[in-house]
A and B are shown apart, each in its own frame.
Chain A
Amino acid sequence: MNSKIIGYLLLTVSAVAASVSAARTPVMTGPFAVSLLVMIVSILLLRRGVRSEKTAERAGDSRGVFDFTACLEDVVSSLDRLIGSKEELTCERIHHELDRLIEGPLFDFAQARENLLATVGFSPYARLIAEFTRAERTASRAWSAAVDGYLDEAVSSLELAREVFAEVSEILNSLQKDSRE
């Protein structure tokens, strides 16, 4: 059994024991203190288990591992193509293309985002995800404007979304470069 499973089992048992000890009046101080200590140990085991799992994932077979860089490049190039054909742009086309991006690569990126946390650390992750969500929201504004038939707003939001996605991509590249060094 790995330390993650042991950690979860220990945490469950000790949390129940701590809660039951706390429920009696007066509190059963001794059993409560011991249970709390076991809870802390189980958290340490769990965190170690999660860390070693992520390390093994990174070191092992890279097939099936989500490629964040490629995903963002796909989004940016799709938006480039869309914006590039400005004269032929219609609300229907923007709506259709954004549906594809929101339900496709943007959904996948958001689903896999926790893997980034293990790779880049909390502070850079927070900055990256905050910018990603900002870009996603701007794309949603373009979507809403396209559905409502406001082409000018849809195009300007699309351009802004493209700019922010490109920034997210740059941040990600520099973070990955730093983590390799």
Chain B
Amino acid sequence: MSQSTLKKGPYREITWEALVLGFFVGILLNASITYAGLLIGFTIVGSEIAAIIGWGVLRGIFRRSTIVENNINQTVASAINNSGAGIIFTIPVLYLRGADFQFLHVILATMCGATLGVAFIVPVRKQMIDIDRLRFPSGTAVGAILRSPGAGVRKAILLAAGVGFSALVSICVHTGLIPETVDIGALLGIPAYFRNVWAVSLLSLGAGFISGRAGLAVLIGGILAYWIITPLAVNFGWVPAGLSAAGAVDYAYVHMNRPIGIGMLIGGALMGIILAFPSIKEAFASLRRSGMKSAARRPEELSIKYLYVAAVASILVLCAVGFTAARPLGLTRIILIALTGTVWLWLAGIIVAQCTGMTDWSPISGMALIAVTIILFFAYDIDHRSAVLLAVLIGATICVAMSLGADMMQDLKTGTLVGAIPRRQQGVQLMVSWMGPVITVVVVHIIWQAYGFGPGTNIPAPQAQALDAAISGVVGGNVPADKYLTGALIGAVLSASPISGLGVMVGLSMYLPLLYILPFGLGGVLNFASGRIRGNRWVENNGIPVAAGLIVGDAIVGVVFALITVLKGLG
């Protein structure tokens, strides 16, 4: 235990040092992760880095930092950093399609998305963190770092061992000493359409361990998609003849597993909302009570008024985006799109927050695809260029809102573990969240001007290419509505089972790549087995610190290599 000497004065929480440090770390992470995301196709969460830098700078240099002050530092850094995922999946599509758009409109739309995402998620905190007590693996890992000065030598050693081992493995993977994936199916001589490829990802293993039971449900979904549906589809001739084994797996993913999985996610989440109505009601009641607390009790949350203001603002912003991008639609249809977009923003925000809380994975790309499909459905009779511009701008607003909402829930989970006051964290996040999109959009624009991205360039922007292809499918009338609908029905029934959120977890894993699902599921199995053998207290005191370390080590190395990639790009 590193017991500090007695300190006088108010407990340091929101300080200039924490805000400024979080701001600069956030900018650095945002630019690096945006560039790396356009290059490799996925983004990395940088909260762990921010927390560690926070200890180094706030405690090492200023010598008076507190646990909750460092929590504010990492909250600011991740708020500025995390809008990247929502933007790099959507906005590059406009560049790839040569769309005629105003740069300022993109910045304004995504800035509003960031603020709306934070405001919309305010009432969800009570339900998901306080009542459902979801694990939020990354939030738990950051909590372990922040609590490390008082967690005792044993836990600190376990955390450090996890960080060290994971970082070492991750360095070996990044430098090619260890392969990124292991094809166990090929080693066992199993047909290639029966995919059994594992990513060497200790981050996934750690997240699966912290998720616990959710890890098992995710594994079930992966098995259903990749070991049952895909082989049956190949053997029954449901995939076009002449495709290679890998091509058949990809076909089954795009035309079967992904749309059914997205449908399951939505159906499962809707059923979850219906079943969780009492806890949602309690969350709203609690927000109202919180507003009426006497002066003796610190108000816990931001007022529910923020949600109402956000809903009105959302409708106005989406209307403005509609008028900017597709004036021929007319007032009635633009208002209808704005209303639908607002409802979807709230619903998708809940789905993404729930998925992140249960598994650490956020299905933003799937939710963006649905958003774009809905908007294109409303704009079916105007010219395609305007319709796509409208759909991508509104899709980007919704995606940024979802990214920020999910990030805020992770930060609030960390805050719960260290005893931060939610209202302060929410206030800080509202204050700074608009900055992230400005940085990401500018970085995307600079990269486009300097190098270009997309097919035939050194920066493939794979997520944007995937959305672009999906938009082409929707514009061409190729929407797998039957798969979405049947998936939604299955997800809804699964979520009505006594296993909370089953439909959401199975749907999520049907739509994610198997190579990450397998180590994640293994983490869930290890948690379950060690809980049975050694008991839940052992899991909490020994397993969780190691698992948190695995997440942190992998994330640190990921960000360092992203920075190296940026420096190489500049050189």
Is chain B a partner of chain A in the same complex? yes
Where the two chains meet, the residues of A that have a C-beta atom closer than 8 Å to any C-beta of B are 11, 15-16, 18-27, 32, 36, 39-40, 43, 46-47, 50, 91-92, 95, 99, 103, 107, 110-111, 113, 122-123, 126-127, 129-130, 133-134, 137-153, 157, 160
Query: Shortest CB–CB separation between residue A166 and chain B, in angstroms?
Result: 14
CA distance A169 to B6 in the complex (A): 33
The residues in B between 1 and 50 inclusive whose CB is less than 8 angstroms from any CB of A are 1-8, 10-11
> In the complex, what residues of A have CB within 8 A of residue B489's CB?
18, 36
Asked if B228 and A16 make an inter-chain contact with CB atoms under 8 angstroms apart, the answer reads yes
Looking at chain B's contact residues, the main secondary structure is helix
A20 touches B282 (CB 8 A): no
With contact pairs A18-B486, A130-B130, A143-B150 given, residues A137 and B7 touching in the complex (Cβ less than 8 Å): no
B250 at the interface (CB under 8 A from A): no
Which partner residue on chain A sits nearest B65 by CB separation?
Answer: A148
How far is it, in angstroms, between the C-alpha of A4 and the C-alpha of B134 when the chains are bound? 25
Closest CB pairs A-B (n = 4): A141-B419, A147-B150, A149-B4, A140-B419
Main secondary structure of the interface of A (DSSP, over half): helix
Residues of A within 8 A of B297 (CB): 160
Instruction: Check if B483 sits within 8 Å of A133, measured CB to CB.
Output: no
Within 8 A of A (CB), among B498-521: 498, 506
Instruction: Give the Cβ gap from B495 to chain A, nearest Cβ, in Å.
Output: 10
List B residues at the A interface (Cβ < 8 Å): 1-8, 10-11, 66-68, 126, 129-131, 133, 147, 149-150, 152, 224, 228-229, 232-233, 236, 238, 252, 255-257, 260, 278-279, 281-283, 285-286, 297-298, 300, 416-421, 482-483, 486-487, 489-490, 493-494, 496-498, 506, 536-537, 540-541
Asked if B282 and A127 make an inter-chain contact with CB atoms under 8 angstroms apart, the answer reads: yes
Asked whether B5 lies within 8 Å of A149 as measured between CB atoms, the reply is yes
- Chain A residues positioned under 8 Å from B8 (CB to CB): 152
Q: Give the nearest-CB partner of B422 in chain A.
A: A137
Query: Count the A-B residue pairs with Cβ separation under 8 angstroms: how many?
Result: 166
Known contacts A20-B232, A133-B133, then 8 further A-B pairs from the complex at CB < 8 Å, ordered by chain A residue:
A15-B490, A22-B260, A22-B487, A24-B236, A145-B66, A147-B67, A147-B149, A148-B7
Q: Are A148 and B228 in contact (CB under 8 A)?
A: no
Assembly CA distance A8 to B26 (angstroms): 46
Query: Can you sample 7 A-B contacts with CB below 8 Å?
Result: A26-B482, A36-B489, A107-B540, A122-B278, A126-B131, A133-B133, A153-B10
CA gap between A26 and B228 in the complex, in Å: 18
Residue of A40, A95, A143 ringed by the most chain B CB atoms within 10 A: A143
B537 touches A149 (CB 8 A): no
Instruction: Return the contact of A95 from the options B1, B5, B68 (Cβ within 8 A).
Output: B1
> Which residue of chain A has its CB nearest to the CB of B126?
A130
CA distance in complex: A47, B129 (Å): 25
A85 CB, nearest partner CB in chain B, Å: 17
- Alpha-carbon gap, A92 to B150, bound state (A): 10
Closest to B285 in A: A127
* A residues near B256, Cβ cutoff 8 Å: 23
- With both beta carbons as reference points, the residue of chain A lying nearest to B496 in the complex is identified as A43
Is there contact, CB below 8 Å, between A123 and B278? yes
Q: Do A15 and B486 touch (CB < 8 A)?
A: no
How far, in Å, is A26 (CB) from chain B's closest CB? 7
A22-B260, A95-B150 given; A130·B490 CB < 8 A: no
